[in-house]
Amino acid sequence: MSFVDTLRQWDEAVTCADKQDWSEALSIFLSIQQPNSKICFDIGCLHLLNQDLDAAEKAFDCSIRKDEHLAVAFFQRGITFFKKKRYEESSADFQRAFKALRNNQLIDYKALGLRYILYACEVLHNIALAEAHLGNWEEAQENLAKALDYKTEAKLSIIDKALQATLKQKLFKLVEFPSKILFKPNKHYVAELEKKDYLGKAKVVASVIPQDEFSGFAPLQPQVEDGPAAPREPETLRALEGEAHTVLFEFVPETSNELAVVPGNIVFVLQRGADNWAYVVFNERRGLVPYNYLERLDISLGPREIRGVSRLHSRDAPSRPETSQGPAMEDSSRENTQQQIKQPTETSYFVKIYFTFNFAVSVPHGSPYEVLEEKISKKLNLPSAAISLSSDAQGKKMIDKTKMKEVWRRAQDGRISLWCTAKEQIDGKSQKEIYLVALHTYESSNPEDLSFQEGDKIKLLSTVNQDWLEGECNGNTGIFPASFAEEVQTNEQ
């Protein structure tokens, strides 16, 4: 499905939702073949309206797999777990949502198409409620006391009431996301869906022919023999940045950092990375496009022609490069895994791992800790030393080599549930602080991104994937493209 078709169906579904035709909106959303993280989030919200909690959980899982920094998706999945009375998982998701806020008081999603503000104090409020349901009243009070540091005037009353309730060991009300509010597509993209007739229809004002009703355009007239052979060299081509390329295949973006292009478009490559992604500009918009979808143009300065633009390409498009290291589990493999979990063999046990996303691994019964650790590290593409396992969502009951017998005793019906966290390691250099220097200025309207100027020094916090890093600069924390900075050598520090 092309990007234009996806955009049209997304807009149609949101229009039905605005008319409160929820069933039709959900039907249109589910017909989209390659939904992005925002569309998956909208599907989850509609399932929540229908009280279909299992379907809502799967939709929010999909949204998080496609965008691991979408705090509001963690918040909604936490609400889903809470309604299913799975309070440990609910608390863990609320904590992930708070971490994604990056010490900010709030995130306003208006710029991303969602009219909603996620407040840090409300996230901490829900963490406290989940802990209260688990009987951890002291932790509930600690989270509410922490929420007072992030409070806003509008949210002060609910925190005070919740804190008073915990002192009496009484439960309080959950702060819910209004599921009728959905992510909407970019209004500028939607406006371009309608065909526009910029020329209009010609109308005869005066004619030398009586009763002339001709409308249209006259054919081209022969050129003057002594006229110029070619127009002047356009100054625009000389002023453009980058190298001109023509697009060979249609490219449908999956993240907000990628750019939608179709065959025949002319883009200008500003920077080409070693991972086969190119940073290009097209129609005053910048983004990432696979370089193997492009072909360099030969713009000659003599006759005014651009070779290669009109050539048709009938072969299939090459595979797009990988943009993340995370083992995003496809829906088909997820269903296969679930079917396998329902029917475990006698000798193998299935271990469900709760991470940023959930997955399962199969190990023989009674396997040592090293076997389980190796399976999980391969699944997450992380070194074994960077992985920690625990038998609870809070990470208080850590598991090591000496506690595997206790783990196997807790197994029921061939299943075990464990929680996994990844230590903050960056290529094995977690013991040293790493600093980067900005090669280019980076400014973004996304609330989770880190903006900086060329020459700024950035403290590296973690590696998101091969294309994105997390850093701290000028007191702000966020993610940024890895190609925009380089590491400062030790002697320079």
Range of the domain at 34: 3-187
Give the Cβ contact number of residue 309 at 10 Å: 15
- pLDDT tens digits, 123-132: 999 999 999 9
pLDDT at site 429? 42
Same domain, 243 and 352: no
β-bridge mates for residue 470, sequence order: 462, 479
Residue 375: which CATH number?
3.10.20.90
Number of domains present in the structure of the chain? 4
Rounded Cα distance, 9 and 37, in Å: 15
- Helix (H) or strand (E) run with residue 82 in it: helix 71-83
Same domain, 59 and 163: yes
pLDDT at site 326? 35
Same domain, 163 and 281: no
Arithmetic mean of pLDDT, 321-330: 43
Name the amino acid, one letter, at 400. D
pLDDT at site 205? 56
Long-range contacts of 23-32 (CB under 8 A, 24+ apart): 26/50, 32/1, 32/6
- pLDDT tens digits, 98-107: 998 888 888 8
pLDDT at site 62? 92
For the sheet with 434-438, list strands across it. 476-481, 468-473, 457-463, 434-438, 485-487
3-state secondary structure (DSSP) of residue 294: strand
> Is 194 contained in some domain?
no
Query: Of 17, 2, 381, 309, nearest to 179 (Cα)?
Result: 17
**The last residue of a domain, from among 143, 170, 187:** 187
Residues in the chain: 493
Residue 34: which CATH number?
1.25.40.10
Global pTM value: 0.48
Rounded Cα distance, 108 and 116, in Å: 6
> Is 322 contained in some domain?
no
> Is 229 contained in some domain?
no
Instruction: Give how far Cα 61 sits from Cα of 54, 81, 97, 111, 465, Å.
Output: 11, 12, 14, 23, 19
- pLDDT tens digits, 113-152: 898 999 999 999 999 999 999 999 999 999 988 888 887 6
